[in-house]
Amino acid sequence: MITENEIIIGDEKFIPFITEEQIQKRVKELGEQISNDYKGKLPIFIGVLNGSFIFLADLIKNVNIHCEIDFFKLSSYGDSKISSGNVRMLKELNADISERHIIIVEDIVDTGLSLNYINQLLGKFKPASIKYASLLVKPESLKFDLKIDYIGFEILNKFVIGYGLDYAQKYRNLRSIYVLSQ
Ligand code: 5GP
């Protein structure tokens, strides 16, 4: 059941957490910051599928310099709410990123396992620079020493859905973010 005030999935209840207005305001700020930082350059935004596609779409609409996009896909969670600790590559990049300025776009950084894997993998292609953007970061869960350059919101270590983030592949289409209520 989906209502404005709560989402019930089995015996779990999700309640409103970050509104559509708050998300759009912050994404606009990040887009402006990136536009300034990359003036005179042609960055490639690289979205990590599936979760980042809505954030990436909204982000680049707020970027006012030329840019390119590409995507790749990793698997670590499956349909579970807890990281399996393993990362597998399911779809590779198409773009040649050597000598290019790349901005990796994630929906959420939890343990940092995925981003750490991406960092090692993409570094091998010798890009001119690598920066990271994530709509959400859970600082308390981070297990790797990672610098995330563009952060939408830092949140507590709770499971969230909506705005690209799924629950067993569903609920990505919610316009705002909901959190699991204990
Ligand atoms: P990490 O490798 O940083 O532990 O996890 C990154 C991935 O785990 C994210 O891209 C996302 O797919 C998934 N993830 C982590 N936390 C959450 C959460 O609270 N909600 C959802 N829906 N996915 C999450």
Scan for tokens 């399996």, then name that residue. Answer: 84
Does 114 or 182 have the greater pLDDT score? Answer: 114
Residue 123: inside a domain? yes
**Residue 54 bridge partners (DSSP):** none
Ligand 1, atom 11, lies closest to the CA of 108
Cα of 40 from ligand 1 centre, angstroms: 33
Q: What is the CATH number of the domain that holds 81?
A: 3.40.50.2020
Residue 7: inside a domain? no
Residue 18: inside a domain? no
For residue 54, the model assigns a pLDDT of: 97
Q: Is the model's pLDDT at 165 over the cut of 80?
A: yes
- Among candidate residues 54, 58, 44, the one with its CA nearest the CA of residue 131: 44
Residue 127: inside a domain? yes
Cα of 69 from ligand 1 centre, angstroms: 21
Residue 71: inside a domain? yes
Q: What pLDDT digit, counting tens, does each position of 72-125 carry?
A: 988 765 555 555 566 777 778 888 899 999 999 999 999 999 899 888 888 889
Non-local (6+) Cβ contacts of 63 within 8 A are 31, 34, 35
Residue 176: inside a domain? no
**Tokens (6 digits) for 102:** 């790349």
For residue 95, the model assigns a pLDDT of: 84
Ligand 1, atom 16, lies closest to the CA of 110
How many domains does the chain contain in total?
1
Residue 97: inside a domain? yes
CA angle 19, 79, 9 (to 5 degrees): 55
Please give the positions annotated as active site: 110
* CB-defined site of ligand 1, < 6 Å: 51, 76-77, 83, 106-114, 159-161, 165-166
Look at strands 68-75 and 88-91 and give their pairing. antiparallel
Cα of 39 from ligand 1 centre, angstroms: 31
Q: What pLDDT digit, counting tens, does each position of 28-60 carry?
A: 999 999 999 999 999 999 999 989 999 999 999
- Among candidate residues 115, 72, 123, 73, the one with its CA nearest the CA of residue 98: 123
What are the φ and ψ backbone dihedral angles of 12, each rounded to 5 degrees? -110, 145
Q: What are the C-alpha distances in Å from 117 to residues 12, 60, 69, 112, 135?
A: 31, 24, 20, 9, 19
pTM of the entire predicted model: 0.92
pLDDT-based confidence at residue 19 (cuts at 50, 70, 90) = very high
For residue 13, the model assigns a pLDDT of: 95
Q: What pLDDT digit, counting tens, does each position of 133-157 carry?
A: 999 999 999 999 889 999 999 999 9
pLDDT-based confidence at residue 163 (cuts at 50, 70, 90) = very high
Look up the domain containing 41 and give its range.
Answer: 23-159
Residue 180: inside a domain? no
- Among candidate residues 118, 107, 119, the one with its CA nearest the CA of residue 155: 107
Of the given ranges (19-28, 78-87, 171-180), which has the lowest mean pLDDT? 78-87
**Tokens (6 digits) for 60:** 């680049």
What are the φ and ψ backbone dihedral angles of 153, each rounded to 5 degrees? -145, 140
